[in-house]
Structure 1
Amino acid sequence: MSAVVLAGASGAPGVTTTALGLTLAWPGDCLLVDADRSAPQTLLAGYLQGQAATAGLEAVLQAHRERTPLAEALDGAIRPIPGPPGDAGRRGFLPGFSHLGAVDLFDQAWQPLLAEFAAQDRDVVIDAGRTGHRGLPEALLRDAGLVALVCRTSLIGLAGARLHLAALLDHGPLDRVGLILVGPGRPYPAAEVAEQFGVPVLAEIAWDPASADDLHAGHASMGRRWPRGALARSFARAATRLHAATRREEVRVAP
């Protein structure tokens, strides 16, 4: 199945919140991967209510270096992630780095890991954090189904995004790179942003700080009204749109 990579440029555009929201709203089984190289442990501390860090990507790296099956390492590392009230989907979470020394070493493991993801029966949303001055790992960009730069529509957010988007286009697939806009129309609309940047707007996420805070704080804070809020509805629309885009890409590249 396909992998969707989310990354951010400058500021705090909401990459992790967007990745989590898309995973919870995904139309089918979905795995969320914390690949943020700054290792902030945001999901463990927030949405998962302070759960302790366990071997995630580092277990995959060890399996790769020892030439043992990655599928077995994933089975032991993935933990279930609770959804909002009434959700019956199968959601999983693969924790990120707990030791900074493993970050650069993991570049060699991205290609086999993405190949393993492609062989599984659920889609994957990868929270890659900020692109940073070195950009994202080339294998992650090359083999992902979609690569999305998450940004706000303020002048500050878009100014920072332009430089980092160019780096993604240099190393990623030109026809699979686009933008996810948080707060479209604040002040620039999606159509104007797409025209100025020359890439498609893959999805739009509503500006709803209160609901975003509830999601960030943890699933226990999300009441039954949460799925009907503007943020949750925008996640549902975005997830459906991205899911359809990944299916079109799978058909295009199929032998």
Structure 2
Amino acid sequence: MKNYNTDKIRNVVIIGGTRSGKTTLSEAMLFEGKVIDRRGTVEGKTTVSDNTGVEQLYQRSIYSTPLYAEFMDHKINFIDTPGADDYIGGVISALNVCDSAIMTINAGQGVEVGTEIMGRYAEEHKMPMIIAVNQLDTDKANWDNTIDSLRQAFGGKPTIFQFPVNPGIEFNAFVDVLKMKMYKFSGEDGNYEVCDIPGDLNGKAEDMRASLMEMAAESDEALMEKFFDAGELSDEEMHIGLTIGFVNGTLYPIFTISGKKDIGVQRLMEFITEVA
């Protein structure tokens, strides 16, 4: 592994309730960073982070595990943490040494008690937070209910950066509102093609992008003035405004993923290198 300047290093903690897919996401990030060439599973007792006998016996994380991945000329240090509040000490320790957090949400359950507990600790640590709506590939996945529960729990901070095209067992595509493109996946190895947004989804994407532009403008006085004068912001200005909002904790970007099928993980890691 090569040496990295500090501006090329990201330190991220993965938090969330029990069974929200933190370890499975960690495994996909290791795979995308080419640390491993084959992803393990919690059920198969073959993941890198759940490596103790007791974790494999109960098939859940008990210890916080530091990991890393090299991606897009950056080193991403990340910590897979337990979801059960019995082991909250490990989560708090991880929050103390990281710069931002990824909160995983089970798309079949939405916000749970564990989600709110972890979110509260992240807010107490003034931790910028990305929300990764995970397990969108299951038959119980419900995007709308999940978004509603996030807004009930965290108010206006959860902000949609992506939305799924076909949540459920056939899930293989999402629309990225920042890029204004659709990402369509084939297989379970992270392979995808970038496509134009289908006509029936274009209006929805445009509306969401307009909302993002407003949030970007609200994060900075100069951007707000520009937005009022010109009626819009450039892509670069949007990036600046959304970064300010993220770092200040006024917005939580929402990403759509399936850690199990490695859908959306590369785009999530790309965002981490750019912003987190």
Bin the TM-score by the shorter chain. Answer: 0.3 to 0.5
- Rg larger in structure: 2
Relative contact order (C-alpha < 8 Å, sep 6+): which is higher?
Answer: 1
| Structure with greater strand share of residues | 2
User: TM-score normalized by structure 1?
Assistant: 0.46
State TM-score, norm by structure 2.
0.43
